[in-house]
Structure 1
C-alpha cells in the first residue's frame, strides 16, 4: 500500500484499472528450489493479484531454509533401516538431517 492512502480508495483504484487482489488463507508456503532445498514460509500472509490475465502471488512471513540431504546420507539411512529412498529422504527431512535419529525413527526403536 502507499503511505497515506486509504485502503478502500486503493482497492477502488485497482478495480478501475482491472487489477483484482485477494488475500488467501494459508498455513504454510513451500518453494522448491532448482538447485535443491526449499524455502518454507510459516504463518504466511499471501495475496493473489490478477492483472491482464496473469496471476502474481505476494508472500511474506517467517522464512526457513531447508537443505536436501546429501546422497551419502540418504544411502546410509536406506541401508541401515532397510527402507526406500523416499522414506529415507522424508525421515532425514523430518529430523533436520540427523542420520542417527532418522534411522532410529524408521526402525521404530
Structure 2
C-alpha cells in the first residue's frame, strides 16, 4: 500500500496517522478480561493500545490469554477477587470467627441466608 518495500520510519508513520486524525496511546494495563457466554479470556501483563480515529476508540491487545470457565472468577466493585459465589471473603471470615465455625461452614451459611451476616452467624450457633 505504501510501497518502498522496507517499511516506514515509525516517526513518519506517526506523522501520517496524526494527519489522518488517528491517535494511538499505550495503556499500562495490568489485566484485560474478555467475557463471552462460553469462556473468559484473561490477559495478564498484556500490551494494550488505544487508537482514537475520528472519535471512534479501538483497543488492540497483544498477549497470550488464560482461558477460564465463565463465572469462575468475579471481581467486586473494590477490585478484589471474590471467587466464593459472589460472597466476599471478608464476610466469610467474619461469620466463621463470630460463630466459631470453619470458613466452609460460614460460606454455606451465607449462601443459605442470601449473604445475611447476622442470620448466618445465628444459623451456625
**C-alpha distance in 1 between matches for 2:23 and 2:71:** 40
**Residue 27 of structure 1: how far off its partner (Å):** 1.3
**Residue 52 of structure 1: how far off its partner (Å):** 1.8
Structure number with the higher helix fraction is 1
Tell me the TM-score normalised to structure 2 length.
0.53
Moved over 2 A (4+): 105-108
Tell me the TM-score normalised to structure 1 length.
0.60
- Between 1 and 2, higher relative CO (CA 8 Å, sep ≥ 6) is seen in 1
Q: Cα gap change, 1:85/1:28 in structure 2, threshold over 3 Å: closer, same or farther?
A: closer
Structure number with the higher strand fraction is 1
Asked if 1:51 corresponds to 2:48, the answer is no
Structure 2 segments unaligned to the other structure (5+ residues): 73-83, 90-101, 106-125
Whether the 8 Å CA contact 2:17–2:23 is kept in 1: the answer is yes
Which of 96, 99, 104 is the matching residue for 1:107?
104
**C-alpha distance in 2 between matches for 1:40 and 1:106:** 28
Number of corresponding residues: 78
